[in-house]
Amino acid sequence: MSLFEMVVTPGSVDTLFYIGSMLLRIVIIFGVIMLHVAYASYFERKTIGHMQVRMGPMVVGPRGLLQPIADGIKLFFKEDIIPAESDKPVFYIAPIISLFAALSSLAVVPLFNGFVIANINIGLLFILAMSSLGSYGIIMAGWSSNSKYSFLGGLRSSAQVISYEIAMGLSLVGVMMLAGSLNLTEIVKAQERYPLNMFLIPQIVGCFVFVIAAIAETNRAPFDLPEAESELVAGYFVEYSGMRFGLFFVAEYMAMIIMASVGIVCFLGGWNPPLSILEIPYVPFAWFFIKLYILIFIYFWVRATLPRYRYDHLMSLGWKVLIPLALANIVITAIVKVLL
């Protein structure tokens, strides 16, 4: 029976209910995350502003609260400039790929027990796959703009994402071994047996590698080489303007939130509170978001503090430090698991 038949056949209310509830979940998650993306930029500007002895946005709305909305409206109404010499189809599609890859990862992230759009059993692999897909958007943007600066930015990004993808994948292997599953909900549940309801303590090395690799993966400072402002002006999206630039911007923040979510699910115990007495009743997703905000704050904090890595230093950090560390972590986890 095709989906169409299921929907039109009388009596299959369950199917309708299923589709309806899925759509509702999609709308809720999409809405919540888009709002987070908008206000993550506000939160970033405020955090960094106060760290840098200034106020951050203050003009639009009370204490600048409407600034992200104003920015969004501005980007929508900006003229869409496409370089004459660009490879147009690729130029059009690049930001869409970036955003699509970031958005689709959301489908497998459980906000709380049972609340996930697609509870697939390879959730972690799916996220890794989608985040590598995101780098295609960057490479294509860099290539199609036909500008040397964006080209260099695109090249840097592809090298960086490939290198750190390996470190990140390896850092998660320890988690997979402890949890015995790739399903994100199962991973969270597996952590309930460990201290503080999280894998943080047994997997501290993995967590360390993951956090660094995640920052590099999302092209955030101090690994923001692809968009190194002082060298490459803006890197791969230097030729983009208006809403096309906005899509890259949204994708970057989205990727940041996804990476933070993966970190929460894999190392910080997902929706579970660290101690059961800290449980917040009736708000099952409260701890997920508390952890999310803490991680995102750390992203901003790092950005306000650290200078930018140089390209070759970044590569040697990835290949010579993080990957060996992650491999050692796998070996030790395996030995410990067999022995216990």
Partner 1 sequence: MDKGAAELQTRELTINMGPQHPATHGVLRLVLDLDGETVVKCTPYIGYLHRGVEKLAENRTYLSALPLTDRLDYISAMANNQGYCLAVERLFGVEAPERAKYIRTMVAEMSRISSHILWLGTHALDIGAMTVFLYAFREREWLLDLFEMLCGARLTTSYARIGGVRNDVSQEFIDSLYRFTGEFPRRIEEYETLIDQNRIWLKRTKGIGVIEADEAVNWGLSGPTLRGSGVSYDVRKHAPYDAYDKVEFDVPIGKRGDVYDRYRCRMEEMRQSNRIIRQCIEKLPVGPVMAPDAPKISLPPKDNVLKTMESMIHHFVLITKGPMAAPDGEIYSCTEVPKGELGFYFVSDGSGRPYRMRVRAPSFVHASVIPRLCEGSLVADVIANIGTVDIVLGECDR
Asked whether 274 and 194 are in contact (CB, 8 A), the reply is no
Selected range binding partner 1 among 7-15, 124-132, 205-213, 216-224, rule: CB under 8 A? 216-224
**52 contributes a contact to partner 1 by CB under 8 A:** yes
**233 contributes a contact to partner 1 by CB under 8 A:** yes
**313 contributes a contact to partner 1 by CB under 8 A:** yes
**228 contributes a contact to partner 1 by CB under 8 A:** yes
Position among 152, 255, 256, 295 found at the interface with partner 1 (CB under 8 A) = 152
**48 contributes a contact to partner 1 by CB under 8 A:** yes
Could you say which residues in the range 24-43 bind partner 1, by CB under 8 A? Answer: none
Nearer to partner 1, 36 or 156 (CB): 156
**Residue 226: cis peptide before it, omega within 30 degrees of 0:** no
Position among 34, 51, 122, 332 found at the interface with partner 1 (CB under 8 A) = 51
**221 contributes a contact to partner 1 by CB under 8 A:** yes
Residue 115, strand partner residues: 112
Query: Cα(122)–Cα(172) distance, rounded to whole angstroms?
Result: 13
Rg of the chain on CA atoms, in Å: 21
Coil, helix or strand at residue 115: strand
Query: Cα(4)–Cα(12) distance, rounded to whole angstroms?
Result: 11
In the complex, what is the shortest distance from the CB of residue 129 to partner 1, in angstroms, rounded to a whole number?
A: 29
**320 contributes a contact to partner 1 by CB under 8 A:** no
**162 contributes a contact to partner 1 by CB under 8 A:** no
DSSP letters of 2-50? -HHHHHHSTT-HHHHHHHHHHHHHHHHHHHHHHHHHHHHHHHHHHHHHH
Amino acid making up residue 68? P
Position among 304, 319, 327, 332 found at the interface with partner 1 (CB under 8 A) = 304
Q: Which stretch of DSSP H or E encloses residue 283?
A: none
In the complex, what is the shortest distance from the CB of residue 154 to partner 1, in angstroms, rounded to a whole number?
A: 13
Asked whether 317 and 309 are in contact (CB, 8 A), the reply is yes
Q: How many residues bind partner 1 (CB under 8 A)?
A: 30
Residues found near partner 1 in the complex (CB under 8 A): 48, 51-54, 148-149, 152, 156, 221-222, 224-225, 228-233, 303-313
